[in-house]
Amino acid sequence: MNTPENTSKTTSASVEKSDARWREELTPEEYRVLRQAGTERPYTGEYWDTHTEGVYQCRACGSQLFTSKEKFDSHCGWPSFWAPLAEGTVRYLHDRTMGMDRVEVRCANCDSHLGHVFEGEGYGTPTDQRFCINSISLRLVTPEES
């Protein structure tokens, strides 16, 4: 996979909060996905089928992660992007849970779980990658809101 080599768990995030603080600031479902690497059910999230123009921020810290320009319809039930907004906005971890070998995507600023990235699935995108991201990990900011 052509992902940057920042796969170490020792990479420190800029935003560091106690577990209790995260629990205060996030809803129980946001906490489960963002802080405990959970996954929302497919086709249930707010943005899986959204085509609105804007920037997708990390729901936990507000960092800009993806834009609608890189979003595409993968029909997998979660928002899909072919690249992050910029290099260094996300970080990657090897994820060997659930009997699979995947690459987890996290916010580089606060280390919140976003989803996973897959490669070589045959989508007609410039990177041949699918960043499969939980809607609950994101907040869409439209041009009118910025």
Q: Which residues are catalytic?
A: 132
* Antiparallel, parallel or unpaired: β 80-81 and 90-95: unpaired
CB 60 within 8 A of CB 26: yes
Query: Residue for token digits 């996905």?
Result: 33
Residue 41: exposed, middle, or buried by beta-carbon count in 10 A (0-12, 13-18, 19+)?
Answer: exposed
